[in-house]
């Protein structure tokens, strides 16, 4: 697919727009998933509960006060009655009995008055707490309304921003050749459709590309569209598996030029973690196919192939299958070439079972 300079400029603008769009989309997602009232609401409920508790306490106190007051009135009435009796009495034993009772009553009166005073002080402090809590509740309610309003505003403005960016994207797309625009929209369904390669990293998937991938991108003609291997691998599992297969074939093609043959195989040399992982993964193939057939679940093969591709990519990235040019070929290189072949065979057979092509080059 050949692009004009103007088209390339448009695509670069689109890549920047996509970056901006992702940011806004993520922000919008986060906004719609958070309930702004949640924290504020919790505090509001806490204060409300404390307020009701204080009010209940206040009611209990009022009842208590009433009781103490009534007792006090009774004691005072009896004191008045006894005083009257003392004035009227002439019987000395009766008088001493009355005076004794008076003393007891006075003492009781003093106690009740002290109790009442204490109760009134407590009541005042509860009333103060109630006043504070009421004010706090009111301000929390206002805060809650404010926070909710802000959240709604931000949600609305983010949505508008999103719509604006999407409109701009449409406008950009309409100026591109139809085939490019179609490809763009197809890719957009799976993820970020276009990215800028900057300092070896892709702006669409944010991954650093390895030297091989960078070299192959550099080899692409400037007016040609090329794909970020990391982007595609992440977005499209079929591609991910096909790409792994194509890589095994690329290694196979390069082997003779570096004098690596299959004259030796020493499995003891496959001691790297990624090598053991790939070996173990490949060994699962017969069992996975049998089970997929037994349970009539072809997706088991698909999922397995993705795992094989993952293991293969890790092996490819962490182990040197072929030596550097002009370096001596060792047994480990020949052994790794066998492992590379085995991965290629499993990937090709697996893709074949699923009716998907296993390309030699991508
Ligand atoms: Zn990418």
Task: Read off the CATH number of the domain in which 90 is found.
Answer: 1.10.287.1490
Same domain for 159 and 243?
A: no
**pLDDT for the residue numbered 125:** 95
Q: Percent of the chain having pLDDT more than 90?
A: 58
Q: Tokens 């293991």 belong to which residue?
A: 311
Within-domain flag for 147: yes
pLDDT band at 167 (very low <50, low <70, confident <90, very high): very high
Is there a single domain that holds both residue 154 and residue 281? Answer: no
Q: What is the DSSP letter of 267?
A: G
Distance from the CA of 34 to the center of ligand 1, in angstroms? 30
DSSP 209: P
How many whole angstroms from 227 Cα to the centroid of ligand 1?
8
What is each CA distance from 74 to 71, 101, 278, 290, in whole angstroms? Answer: 5, 14, 96, 96
Distance 234 CA to ligand 1 centre (A): 8
Distance 207 CA to ligand 1 centre (A): 6
Whether 148 and 242 map to the same domain: the answer is no
CA of 316 to the centre of ligand 1 (A): 18
Query: What pLDDT, on a 0 to 100 scale, did the predictor assign at position 276?
Result: 95
Instruction: State mean pLDDT over 44-70.
Output: 93
- The pLDDT score that the predictor gives to residue 232 is 57
Amino acid 69: pLDDT: 94
The alpha carbon of 192 and the centre of ligand 1 are apart by a number of angstroms equal to: 8
How much distance in Å is there from the Cα of 236 to the middle of ligand 1?
12
- For residues 159 and 31, is the Cβ–Cβ distance under 8 A? no
Distance 108 CA to ligand 1 centre (A): 90
Measured in Å, residue 205 CA sits from the centre of ligand 1 at 4
CA distance 337 to 95: 124
State CA 37 to chain mean position distance. Answer: 19
Residue 320 domain flag: yes
Domain end marker among 169, 187, 207:
169
Among residues 112, 139, 169, the one where a domain terminates is 169
193 located within any domain:
no
At 297, which helix (H) or strand (E)? none
Considering the domain architecture, whether residues 134 and 51 belong to the same structural domain is answered as yes
Instruction: Name the pLDDT band for 62 (thresholds 50, 70, 90).
Output: very high
Domain that holds residue 301: 236-353
Task: Check if the beta carbon of residue 43 is closer than 8 Å to that of residue 140.
Answer: yes
Flag whether 202 is in a domain. no
Per mean pLDDT, which range of 85-89, 111-115, 249-253, 265-269 is the poorest? Answer: 85-89
232 alpha carbon – ligand 1 mean position (Å) = 7
Task: Find the range with the poorest average confidence among 83-87, 203-207, 278-282, 346-350.
Answer: 203-207
Q: Is residue 38 part of a domain?
A: yes
How much is the mean pLDDT over the chain? 89
Structure tokens at 266: 């020493």
- Over the stretch 187-199, which tens digit does the pLDDT of each residue have? 776 668 888 888 8
Question: 294 pLDDT exceeds 90?
Answer: yes
- The per-residue pLDDT for range 97-141, each reduced to its tens digit, is 999 999 999 999 999 999 999 999 999 999 999 999 999 999 988
| Distance in Å, CA 131 to ligand 1 centroid | 61
Q: Does a structural domain hold residue 213?
A: no
* pLDDT for position 233: 44
pLDDT for residue 231? 76
DSSP letter assigned to residue 269: G
Provide the number of structural domains found in the chain.
Answer: 2
User: Is 97 contained in some domain?
Assistant: yes
Classify residue 362: in a domain, yes or no: no
Indicate whether 163 pLDDT > 80: yes
């Amino acid at each position: 697919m050949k692009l004009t300079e103007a088209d390339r400029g448009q695509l670069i603008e689109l890549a920047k727009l996509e970056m901006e769009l992702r940011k806004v989309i993520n922000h919008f997602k986060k906004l719609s998933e958070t309930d702004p009232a949640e924290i504020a609401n919790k505090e509001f409920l806490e204060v409300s509960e404390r307020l009701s508790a204080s009010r209940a306490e206040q009611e209990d106190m009022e009842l208590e006060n009433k009781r103490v007051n009534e007792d006090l009135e009774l004691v005072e009435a009896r004191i008045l009655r006894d005083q009257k009796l003392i004035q009227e009495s002439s019987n000395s034993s009766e008088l001493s009995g009355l005076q004794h009772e008076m003393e007891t009553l006075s003492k009781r009166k003093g106690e009740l008055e002290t109790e009442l005073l204490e109760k009134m002080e407590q009541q005042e402090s509860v009333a103060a707490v109630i006043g504070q809590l009421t004010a706090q509740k009111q301000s929390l309610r206002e805060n809650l309304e404010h926070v909710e309003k802000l959240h709604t505003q931000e949600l609305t403005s983010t949505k508008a921003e999103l719509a604006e960016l999407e409109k701009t994207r449409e406008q950009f797309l309409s100026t591109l050749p139809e085939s490019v625009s179609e490809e763009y929209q197809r890719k957009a369904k799976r993820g970020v459709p276009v990215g800028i390669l900057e300092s070896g990293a892709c702006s669409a998937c944010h991954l650093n590309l390895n030297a091989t991938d960078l070299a192959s991108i550099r080899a692409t003609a400037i007016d040609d569209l090329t794909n970020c291997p990391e982007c595609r691998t992440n977005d499209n599992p079929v591609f991910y598996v096909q790409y792994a297969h194509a890589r095994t074939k690329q290694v196979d093609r390069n082997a003779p030029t570096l004098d690596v043959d299959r004259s030796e195989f020493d499995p003891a040399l496959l001691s790297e973690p990624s090598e053991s992982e790939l070996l173990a993964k490949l060994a699962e193939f017969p069992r996975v196919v049998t089970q997929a057939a037994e349970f009539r679940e072809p997706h088991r093969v698909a999922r397995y192939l993705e795992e094989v591709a993952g293991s293969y990519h890790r092996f490819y990235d962490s182990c040197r299958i072929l030596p550097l040019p002009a370096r001596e070929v060792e047994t480990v290189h020949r052994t790794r070439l066998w492992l590379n072949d085995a991965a290629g065979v499993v990937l090709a057979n697996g893709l074949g079972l699923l009716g998907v092509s296993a390309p030699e080059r991508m």
